[in-house]
Amino acid sequence: MNKLLNIANGVPRQFVRDYAFKSDLKIKWVRPEKISCIRPEKSGDLAKLPALSANELLPGYKDSKELESADETVLSLFKLSNNPNHLTTRYYRDQMIKEVQRHAQDYGSMEAKLAKMTASIRRYQEHMEAHPRDKMIKVRLKELIDKRKKFLKYLRRWDYPRFEWILEKLDLVYKPPPAHFHWITRKESLQKLTDIYCEKIKEERLEAYHKELQAQQIPYLEDAIKKMVFVRQEQIDCDVPVTVTEQQIENARQELAQLKQLREAEAAATRKQSDETFH
């Protein structure tokens, strides 16, 4: 045992897993929430079914003259809200088919089939929100969504103008399957977050260094003007060729004045913005 410890102390990197240590970077990755395939966000349904009117009668009794003078108790028996759910589903299905059918007896065209499936899908989605553990309805809903996607794929291939029209009428969004499925992994996500974090630090430090250099501009120009005046005067006194001209000094003074004016304008704008934010 002691021999193994001596070897480990002599060659520590062979026994210490540095790559498994936690990083000191303040980066936290949270796995994105998985959206169920039966949710409207995945199925492509942009709208829900309209609210059912409390006085809506069964489709076969809307024009009944006897119900116009019937008692309220009798009338409630023929209201759609007091009858089984499959009748409400049939009502929504018929209403949606009427919006896209080619004629009054059209129930077999591609548009009518898509409208029928869309009404059933949205009814099933409402049911799943109230009863999320209903496995049988969940399976039916998944199969119906896949079938509608297949029909939309065919319609898109055959007749694109009609495909766009049906999407607009039914408030749908077509989401084709991806060409390549890409898994979301913790390692790759942390690499991207680390790159973003490092780039942010780089930009912050460059911005801080830029501000530091800007703060040194005015003192630098003032010192440069003093030195240029001193050098020019010394060259004149020593009777040597003058290398610093008055034009150069004047240009530096103009640049200094413009820089001071610019700094004052920036400070005034900052004060005004802070006052507006405060008030």
Instruction: Give the domain CATH number at 132.
Output: 1.10.287.10
pLDDT of res. 6 = 58
Same-domain pairing of 158 and 193: no
Same domain as 66, residue 108: yes
Query: What are the structure tokens assigned to 106, written together?
Result: 């059209």
Indicate the residue among 144, 170, 196 that finishes a domain.
Answer: 170
For residues 202 and 273, membership in a common domain is answered with yes
Task: Supply the pLDDT for residue 105.
Answer: 92
Domain membership flag for residue 131: yes
d(CA 231, CA 242): 9
Pair (80, 160) in one structural domain: yes
Find the length of the chain.
Answer: 279
Measure the CA–CA gap between 40 and 48, rounded to whole angstroms: 9
Is residue 7 pLDDT above 60, yes or no? no
Average pLDDT, the chain: 87
Q: What range does the domain containing 195 cover?
A: 186-278
Query: Are 139 and 213 contained in the same domain?
Result: no
What percent of the chain stands above pLDDT 70? Answer: 90
Based on the domain organization, do 192 and 264 belong to the same domain? yes
Same domain, 107 and 216: no
* Dist CA 223 CA 228 (whole Å): 9
Nearest-angstrom CA–CA distance, 119 and 47: 11
Question: Would you say residue 34 lies in a domain?
Answer: no
d(CA 264, CA 257): 11
Is residue 57 located within the same domain as residue 143? yes
Whether the CB-CB separation of 76 and 55 falls below 8 Å is answered with no
129 versus 61: the higher-pLDDT residue is 129
Number of C-beta neighbours around residue 95 at 10 A: 14
Do 107 and 135 sit in the same domain of this protein? Answer: yes
Q: Is the pLDDT of residue 11 over 60?
A: no
Contacts of 264 (CB under 8 A, 6+ apart): none
Question: 217-237 vs 186-215: helix axis angle to the nearest 10?
Answer: 40
